[in-house]
Amino acid sequence: MLCFEIFKNYEDLSQNYSDQIVVEFLYKHLDEFGDSKQAIKKSLDYAFSTEKGKGGFLLIATKDKQICGVLIMNSTGMKDYIPENLLVYIAVDAQFRGQGIGSSIIKKAKEECNGNIALHVEYENPAKRLYERVGFKSKYAEMRWERKEE
């Protein structure tokens, strides 16, 4: 049976897990579509922030007491022109993929959120089909300009 736990601060998280376990899980299971451990930790810090305009939550899915999926949602502090929530990271352990766990995690996260949700996904990421199946639409093409450090 799939179980969900929602965390909104480090104190509650530390009762069952460590932030290191969460970061390591995401780093490993995001595969080539992931970010550095430092970036993942920053998104968790942001989700647990109490500063005005910040916040969010961490969702951990377990099956038979084993972590099978993790999601980090950040609140944007905005509305109307930018969705109120940004699904920053979601990963399912490879041994649990293809069982509907990713869909279930997103469904639970949607229930937990107030407002709309945005996410970024690379075109070649196979998870893009999952996002489309659960109702996400490709409204914009994201473009980035990156400052080069000299």
Quick check: is 150 in a domain?
A: no
Quick check: is 140 in a domain?
A: no
Residues 72, 89 contacting (CB under 8 angstroms): yes
Query: Which token pair is 43?
Result: 């998104």
Please write the tens of the pLDDT for every residue from 98-112.
Answer: 999 999 999 999 999
Please write the tens of the pLDDT for every residue from 68-109.
Answer: 999 999 999 998 888 999 999 999 999 999 999 999 999 999
Supply the CATH number for residue 122's domain: 3.40.630.30
Model confidence at 58: pLDDT above 80: yes
Stated pTM of the model? 0.90
CA 75/CA 117 separation, integer angstroms: 9
User: Residue 5 has what pLDDT?
Assistant: 98
User: Residue 78 has what pLDDT?
Assistant: 92
Model confidence at 66: pLDDT above 80: yes
User: Residue 92 has what pLDDT?
Assistant: 96
Overall domain count for the chain: 1
CA 139/CA 92 separation, integer angstroms: 25
Model confidence at 63: pLDDT above 80: yes
Quick check: is 138 in a domain?
A: no
Domain of 88, in residue numbers: 2-133
Quick check: is 35 in a domain?
A: yes
Residues 94, 76 contacting (CB under 8 angstroms): no
Query: Which token pair is 60?
Result: 């951990």
**From edge to edge, which strands make up the β-sheet containing 117-119?**
2-7, 56-63, 66-75, 85-92, 117-119
User: Residue 31 has what pLDDT?
Assistant: 87
